[in-house]
């Protein structure tokens, strides 16, 4: 793996995120568009079953920023990708994980692409019984 690159394994594929450090090391050379990989996860809260968790994380800061921006501007596009939902079920009530490719150039966000969306299986949470 080249220096400064991070990878995420998603199913059978591996996605690579080029490091911010790599861009900084090319001072004096016109900056090429870069990318980062990010995940958005909506799942049941294991500590409070009546609540939900939303996790937004990128390999680098650009990925996290891009995923948060996408939630603000592109959430309808994300919910439209939840094609595995039965009719009448809202995307807000299902557990899912989405993988995004975040493009940026000269420290500005560019295109944000949904690479994959998967439904997560809910596991029954055992209640802690205190004596």
Specify if 105 maps to a domain. yes
Considering the domain boundaries, does residue 127 fall inside one?
no
pLDDT tens string 63-112: 999 999 999 998 888 888 876 656 555 555 678 999 999 998 877 889 99
- 131 occurs within a structural domain: no
Domain presence at residue 84:
yes
Residue 96 lies in a domain: yes
For the chain, how many structural domains are there in total? 1
Instruction: State residue 113 phi and psi, 5-degree precision.
Output: -115, 135
pTM score of the predicted model: 0.74
Domain contains 128: no
- Which pLDDT score is estimated for 87? 58
Distances (CA, A) of 85 to 28, 48, 61, 74, 79: 50, 24, 31, 19, 10
Residue range of the domain that includes 52: 5-119
Residue 97: inside a domain: yes
């Amino acid at each position: 793996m080249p220096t400064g690159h991070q990878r995420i394994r998603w199913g059978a594929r591996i996605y690579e995120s080029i490091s911010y450090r790599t861009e900084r090391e090319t001072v004096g050379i016109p900056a090429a568009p870069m990318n980062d990989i990010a995940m958005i996860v909506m799942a049941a809260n294991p500590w409070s079953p009546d609540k939900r968790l939303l996790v937004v994380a990128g390999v680098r800061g650009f990925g996290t920023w891009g995923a948060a921006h996408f939630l603000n501007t592109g959430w309808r596009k994300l919910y439209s990708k939840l094609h595995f939902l039965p009719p009448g079920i809202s995307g807000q009530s299902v557990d899912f994980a989405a993988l995004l490719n975040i493009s940026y150039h000269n420290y500005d966000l560019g295109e944000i692409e949904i690479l994959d969306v998967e439904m997560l299986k809910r596991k029954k949470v055992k209640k802690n019984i205190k004596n």
